[in-house]
Structure 1
């Protein structure tokens, strides 16, 4: 392979799941445009490899439904507000990606035709085949379901080969590595071990849905420059959750 060629990857279609908090950088709230652009550049490097990419972005940097519910707001209303926050994040990421020349579609589970397409599976698949990045927003469109579950649902519907869960650490640990120097990182871990040991990967519904459909989850550090591209090229540090 010449230096001008892009690295080879065994993945053809993947879903990248990131939290809303990943977009706020060092701020305590909202969107940090340089951070949004940095993540968009990471996505572009993978897109340039020829990989078809879906994205699901949480809304915790703007509003977290469960937290609102805990403070006395009715849970359904709080969850819908959280879904709207994910749409705002999706539009910000779309703007950043298209600023880099990557054609992108925001596809919402809640109809808002002026700002996003409604979710129609066959249309979304066609966008991917045309090498457009599809950002799925508004979760599943239903309260009581997290964006983790939405990501796993959409990954299955789009026939993705894996979910890439971008976090602040380089994999799955038996305890919080930020607080515990002796935390142990797993190279691989099974779905059942994640559930039994309450490892902080995704919520139980998302893990069970991935397990039932044999969909692997790759947990890696989104803060590592080139990490997303590196793992797709068979390099880097990560944890694989599988059967």
Structure 2
């Protein structure tokens, strides 16, 4: 379906996306196999690889920004949306930003360090964790607690949600949730680990048990928004104890 204004010199063509967010798909389905996770991850990785080969990083990858073209089909196809935080990262350039969504941002965002394609790969690790468990690896009671968990790399594979998950699937997540971005596999052609991100999708094995579960004792939290991580000016150079959050970068 296309929207065309014949009275304007500019013509806007829009995809019709019927399936809603991947986040809601996971929440509603309540049973997600590793085969299904592989299908989604293969599409996500191919899309991110396409961006990275053109030196573009998304910087806000999350299930809320991944849409299904159709929902009630055997093998849903996805579209990556919302490029509001995306940046073109050319060789030799340094890009830093304090923008992102607390649950999905990488430690280098919080620490105000140079960002690049590995920052996207961290987010894909978080998305994989959610696909296989229905839970968020770093979610705290507050955004500040969530950010502390991210910086510390503080997550675990709780047996309540990962008892039936293969070790290969867990290893896939571990290889992406690395605090040192230089160690993270990412898409070609930037960096020495060219096709590693696509090969990683092969490690996800067959899953037979439900993957989406509501958190014990309560419903799932609402999807997070993008935030600006700032610093108190009087603190001088940024330090972990001086971080604060406010909505921004929308």
The normalised TM-score by structure 2 is 0.26
The normalised TM-score by structure 1 is 0.26
